[in-house]
Structure 1
Amino acid sequence: MFTADQINEAISWRHDFHRHPEIGFEETRTSAIIADLLEGWGWTVHRGIAKTGVIAKLGEGPGIGIRADIDALPILEAGKSDHCSTYPGKMHACGHDGHTAMLLMAAQQIAKLDLGGRSVTLIFQPAEENEGGGRHMVQEGVFDRFPCEAIFAIHNWPALAPGHFVARDDRMMAAIGIFEIVLRGRGGHAAMPEQSSGVLTAAGRLIPMLQEVPARRISPLETGVISVTTIHGGTAFNICPDEVKLTGSARWFSKEVGEVLQTAMEEITKAVAVAHDCTAEVNFISDYPPTINTPEHAATARRVAEEMGLCVTNPDPSMASEDFSFMLERQPGAYIWLGAGREGKNPGLHAADYDFNDDVLATGAEFWVRLVQDSLK
């Protein structure tokens, strides 16, 4: 479907995006390149959607939407390739540069199709990492302005070998809640701990108790996790601090489990604080909902993949989170994992030495073209 020259061109786009990573809502250079290319191929382009997003439409009437995320992460790259990040402290550690390049590659081919009274909408979304660009797009009424019968997205998946494809009928990615716990009490001299509150001791006991909550508060047939990931407190070896801060995240699929995790966290934290003569403040924010595919559209994606000769598998869902979930709450559709592992050293997503596998660019682009063709039938 694609010539060697077309593949090399897509690789050059990907490498350029990788050299110039832009984090959430700062993707001005990235979105300008995307918009200019699409306009050159005949797409009707809308810029500045959700601040730095781009939406392109081809044709009229009903049709499908395809989303690619375009933002990078605030990570100092440790890779040694000739296309490493030129922006210190920022890198494409999740493959959004590849997602963007494969959708552009497909867009160039889709522009040559006869859509026969139907349409295709491409959504180049900013700020997937942490900032919820998908939520912003939905809140801005993207699907009112650009109606789609169904919406699809691909994420590269280094845990699967190239040629493997996943589109589960329901659960794909978990919901996430972000929490901050602040323990406060009296500080004092380390030689006289009885004159101080035990905020550090409380923190030390609280961490395993919180991470044990899913095992004791929810059914083993359900899924949930609490991870404490940072602890900040104290200034010197001989001072008992008066404040300690813990942060982390909780993950779940069902709304009921999320509510149990939050309630248990608040109850246990306050009880531990009282036992150690201090107070506790718990701030819990439910951030992204779970990413749930509609069976009909997941089945369509699998059928198209099988027609391409891809190996369609059905592994367990991931407890990681994804803001495409906001779009799937609003529209039917499917989120897809495309195998992108490397032989030998194979860094995972968000690793400082991760680099998107260019060998799967053509596979992803071909899938998008075939999916569009299937939607025209």
Structure 2
Amino acid sequence: MPVLPHIAERSDELTAIRRDLHAHPELGFQEHRTSAIVQDLLTQYGVDELHVGMGTTGVVGIIRGKGEGSRRIGLRADMDALPIHETTNLPYASRTEGVMHACGHDAHTTILLGAAQYLAATRNFGGTAVLIFQPAEEGLGGARAMIADGLFDKFPCDEVYGMHNNPNGTPGLVKIKPGVAMAGACFFDIAVRGVGSHAAMPEDGSDSIMIASALVGTLHSIVSRNVPPTKPAVLSVTKINSGNAYNVLPDSATIAGTVRYFHEEIRDLIVGRMRDICAGLAKMHGIEIDVEIRNVFDVLVNDTALSEAYLAAAAEIVGAEHIRVSEDLVTGSEDFADMLKVVPGAYCTLGHDGTVPVHNPGYVLDDSILPIGASIMARIVERRLCI
């Protein structure tokens, strides 16, 4: 694959950076070490401006091209890890108990650093590259935090691009779904406040575990019995907690989970049914059920024309035979969607060797994608800000 020579020469350096980040993962809004490394490297690369602390731990670097031009292209990478115990036994496995880069954000950060080094050294473009290193992508609202801190007010962009690794066993395969591409997401927490009693005398209380169990089954029927099959949606209960003894019916139980959707009216329908069901069960059993439902990701929508431009840039690096226009909706969510609501752009996936899925304790990233991803990100800047 014709990786940009300047970047190819630094492949070992990129691998070293990525593996160091992997060994020292940090959760969302706690990426202090990662942020400091990004700042130090961007300074070494000679970026024109460096701005820190945006969205708590976010970093923004500015590189101006040697050609004339007022247009600005944003490139974004996320930096946070997941609360997962790593089981890979790699020499550079996580040294932080219970935290792992199981989604490839260590690679995303490294890829953008590789593009930054190249762009700062060559500057073969007219205009400005805005490098966005974002905290807290994994459901904590890092993109929204940066936007609320004035990201695109202080550093306006005409276009913005993101990238995600994909362990699909096909190294270098670049895919984009133009238009609506990834689901929006809500997280929910439900507290069932029953009446505790002796387990041998359930008639003396209101069994929170029984009520919560009924609630789980009913919630899982919402999509199949309320949502048109032509409008995909997912509701999954992911946590249920209650009790600490064999002979006690606890007075409370908690349920949590997520809703994924591609249409706002479907989200509203599901949320409404959830609240109605909880209110009905509470009245039936004479108890209280508290419901908190919060939106955490918007639906990700790729600009069609900019998706084509991104694929054209990628084709110069991986070859036309390794690019795909996808037709598949992805029920996973990505908070880059929040940036795309403010600035048009596109989000691609980059395939690599290995088939263990992300968010898995045994996930292993293929370092060979680092110079490929960096080259694609650098090339989209050069093409869109052509001198």
User: Shorter-chain-normalised TM-score: which range?
Assistant: over 0.9
Q: CA RMSD in A?
A: 1.6
Is the contact made by 2:222 and 2:273 (CA closer than 8 Å) also made in structure 1? yes
Judge which range, 108-117 or 200-209, deviates more: 108-117
* Structure 2 CA distance for aligned equivalents of residues 202 and 269 of structure 1: 10
* Structure 2 CA distance for aligned equivalents of residues 128 and 297 of structure 1: 23
Q: Is the partner of 1:209 in helix, strand or coil?
A: helix
Equivalent AA in structure 1 for residue 167 of structure 2: P
Judge which range, 197-206 or 258-267, deviates more: 197-206
Map of 2:323 onto structure 1: 311
Alpha-carbon deviation of 1:219? 0.8
Equivalent AA in structure 2 for residue 28 of structure 1: H
Alpha-carbon deviation of 1:96? 0.7
Equivalent AA in structure 1 for residue 299 of structure 2: P
* Structure 1 CA distance for aligned equivalents of residues 244 and 32 of structure 2: 41
* Structure 2 CA distance for aligned equivalents of residues 141 and 323 of structure 1: 16
Q: CA 1:307–1:124 in structure 2 vs 1: closer, same or farther (change >3 Å)?
A: same
Map of 1:26 onto structure 2: 30
Alpha-carbon deviation of 1:116? 5.0
1:35 is aligned, of 35, 39, 42, to: 39
1:195 is aligned, of 178, 201, 204, to: 204
Q: Is it true that 1:340 corresponds to 2:314 in the alignment?
A: no
* Structure 2 CA distance for aligned equivalents of residues 265 and 63 of structure 1: 43
Q: Is the partner of 1:62 in helix, strand or coil?
A: strand
Judge which range, 155-164 or 118-127, deviates more: 155-164
Alpha-carbon deviation of 1:113? 2.9
The number of residue pairs the alignment matches comes to 374
Equivalent AA in structure 2 for residue 18 of structure 1: H
| CA deviations over 1:254-280 (Å, ceiling 9, x no partner) | 110110010001111222233334321
Is the contact made by 1:158 and 1:341 (CA closer than 8 Å) also made in structure 2? yes
Is the contact made by 2:311 and 2:323 (CA closer than 8 Å) also made in structure 1? no
* Structure 2 CA distance for aligned equivalents of residues 81 and 185 of structure 1: 47
Alpha-carbon deviation of 1:172? 2.2
Map of 2:292 onto structure 1: 283
Q: Is it true that 1:356 corresponds to 2:365 in the alignment?
A: yes
| CA deviations over 1:215-242 (Å, ceiling 9, x no partner) | 1111110011111111111222222222
TM-score, length of structure 1 as denominator length: 0.95
| CA deviations over 1:86-141 (Å, ceiling 9, x no partner) | 12222211111111111111111112334454111110111111221110111111
* Structure 2 CA distance for aligned equivalents of residues 146 and 135 of structure 1: 15
Q: CA 1:114–1:281 in structure 2 vs 1: closer, same or farther (change >3 Å)?
A: closer
- 1:105-120 correspondence runs (5 A): 105-120=114-129
Map of 1:153 onto structure 2: 162
Map of 2:134 onto structure 1: 125
Is the contact made by 2:178 and 2:325 (CA closer than 8 Å) also made in structure 1? no
Is the contact made by 1:198 and 1:278 (CA closer than 8 Å) also made in structure 2? no
Judge which range, 301-310 or 134-143, deviates more: 301-310
TM-score, length of structure 2 as denominator length: 0.92
- 1:216-295 correspondence runs (5 A): 216-295=225-304
1:55 is aligned, of 60, 64, 84, to: 60
Judge which range, 163-172 or 323-332, deviates more: 163-172
State the percentage of identical aligned residues.
38
Map of 2:185 onto structure 1: 176
| CA deviations over 1:156-210 (Å, ceiling 9, x no partner) | 1123621211111112221111111111222212222222213222211211211
* Structure 2 CA distance for aligned equivalents of residues 116 and 81 of structure 1: 40
Q: CA 1:283–1:138 in structure 2 vs 1: closer, same or farther (change >3 Å)?
A: same
* Structure 1 CA distance for aligned equivalents of residues 194 and 32 of structure 2: 46
Map of 1:296 onto structure 2: 305
Map of 2:341 onto structure 1: 329
* Structure 2 CA distance for aligned equivalents of residues 203 and 267 of structure 1: 15
| CA deviations over 1:284-304 (Å, ceiling 9, x no partner) | 111211111111111111222
Equivalent AA in structure 2 for residue 288 of structure 1: F
* Structure 1 CA distance for aligned equivalents of residues 373 and 327 of structure 2: 19
Is the contact made by 2:140 and 2:296 (CA closer than 8 Å) also made in structure 1? no
Equivalent AA in structure 2 for residue 19 of structure 1: A
Q: CA 1:37–1:235 in structure 2 vs 1: closer, same or farther (change >3 Å)?
A: closer
Q: Is the partner of 2:217 in helix, strand or coil?
A: helix
* Structure 1 CA distance for aligned equivalents of residues 201 and 174 of structure 2: 61
Equivalent AA in structure 2 for residue 191 of structure 1: A
* Structure 2 CA distance for aligned equivalents of residues 61 and 54 of structure 1: 22
Q: CA 1:198–1:4 in structure 2 vs 1: closer, same or farther (change >3 Å)?
A: same
* Structure 2 CA distance for aligned equivalents of residues 38 and 349 of structure 1: 28
